[in-house]
């Protein structure tokens, strides 16, 4: 890693799988039990906000009973050690809506698809930590509108902080993708963006992702083993 200064890491549901959080596209994954069009689009929320809120209430409750695993902990250690030296940067971009990276101690996480534990009002732009009294389909506590929703990027919506992400990719020397199927854009295109800038690219996943051929190197196995091995 002598010639590497700037690292961008992208994580997906696979990094939280061994913490007991369901992934999306596995045979028994979340999208097998719920149709995306029913629970994860702006139209679904307009049609049936109570159903959509219930889906996120259920996942929020589940996440709060889970703990970070060795993969989350080793990325926290890497961030601490890497950014402790001058002239180096590390950006952790996650597609996950859980808070396990933060709970493991990572300080700078970009949640490009939002956060389960945050509420957002699309009328007045208020954001607040989600709490029990916001469950169900309540009005916004700030402006009273019925536009309060989970702070989640649904299909068809623009992911968060894209300028910052593309900026980091454009300066990256190493791009590492962990536990993601590479099925959802724009995240699935980050590897090409990093390659185009001359970055080395590494994939750590249980099985080859859709874009495996785009990586310089792919290591297959469970994240709780592969990530600590890579970091150490």
Candidates 205, 211, 214, 218: give the one binding ligand BV8 (CB under 6 A).
205
Six token digits for residue 134:
């916001």
Q: Are 205 and 220 in contact (CB under 8 A)?
A: yes
Question: Terminal CA-to-CA distance of the chain, rounded, Å?
Answer: 12
Q: Let me know the angle formed at the C-alpha of 1 by 110 and 186, rounded to the nearest 5 degrees.
A: 30
Task: Specify the residue, 143 or 162, whose C-beta has the smaller distance to ligand BV8.
Answer: 162
- At 10 the three-state DSSP class reads strand
Which position among 72, 113, 133, 213 bears the catalytic label? 113
- Is residue 97 close enough to count as binding ligand BV8 by CB under 6 A? yes
Candidates 21, 100, 117, 153: give the one binding ligand BV8 (CB under 6 A).
153
- Is residue 156 close enough to count as binding ligand BV8 by CB under 6 A? yes
Q: Let me know the angle formed at the C-alpha of 219 by 210 and 70, rounded to the nearest 5 degrees.
A: 110
Task: Specify the residue, 172 or 179, whose C-beta has the smaller distance to ligand BV8.
Answer: 179
Task: Specify the residue, 68 or 179, whose C-beta has the smaller distance to ligand BV8.
Answer: 179
Query: Using CB under 6 A as the criterion, what x/- string covers residues 50-89 for binding ligand BV8?
Result: ----------------------------------------
Concerning whether 72 is annotated as a catalytic residue, the answer is: no
Candidates 186, 196, 217, 229: give the one binding ligand BV8 (CB under 6 A).
186
> Is 119 buried (19+), middle (13-18) or exposed (0-12) by CB count in 10 A?
buried
User: Helices in the chain by DSSP H: which ranges?
Assistant: 14-17, 30-33, 36-39, 42-47, 49-63, 70-83, 100-104, 162-170, 190-196, 223-231
Candidates 3, 132, 163, 185: give the one binding ligand BV8 (CB under 6 A).
185
Identify the DSSP state of 214. Answer: G
The residue ranges that bind ligand BV8 (CB under 6 A) are 12-14, 17-18, 23-26, 29, 40, 95, 97, 113, 152-159, 162, 179-181, 183-186, 205-207, 209, 222-223
């Amino acid at each position: 890693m002598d010639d590497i200064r700037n690292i961008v890491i992208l994580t997906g549901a696979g990094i939280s799988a061994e913490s007991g959080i369901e992934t999306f596209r596995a045979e028994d994954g979340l999208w097998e039990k719920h149709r995306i069009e029913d629970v994860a689009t702006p139209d679904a929320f307009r049609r049936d906000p109570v159903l959509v809120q219930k889906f996120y209430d259920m996942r929020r409750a589940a996440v709060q009973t889970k703990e970070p695993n060795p993969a989350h902990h080793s990325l926290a250690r890497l961030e601490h050690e890497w950014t402790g030296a001058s002239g180096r940067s590390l950006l952790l971009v996650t597609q996950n809506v859980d808070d396990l990276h933060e709970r493991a101690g990572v300080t700078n996480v970009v949640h490009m698809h939002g956060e389960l534990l945050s509420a957002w009002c699309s009328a007045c732009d208020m954001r607040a930590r989600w709490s029990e009294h916001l469950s169900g389909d309540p009005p916004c506590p700030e402006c009273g509108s019925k536009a309060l929703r989970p702070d989640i990027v649904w299909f068809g919506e623009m992911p968060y902080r894209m300028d910052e992400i593309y900026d980091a990719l454009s300066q990256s020397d190493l791009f590492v993708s962990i536990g993601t199927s590479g099925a959802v854009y724009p995240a699935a295109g980050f590897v090409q963006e990093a390659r185009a800038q001359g970055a080395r690219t590494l994939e750590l996943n249980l099985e080859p992702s859709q874009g495996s051929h785009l990586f310089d190197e792919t290591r297959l196995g469970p994240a709780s083993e592969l990530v600590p091995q890579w970091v150490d």
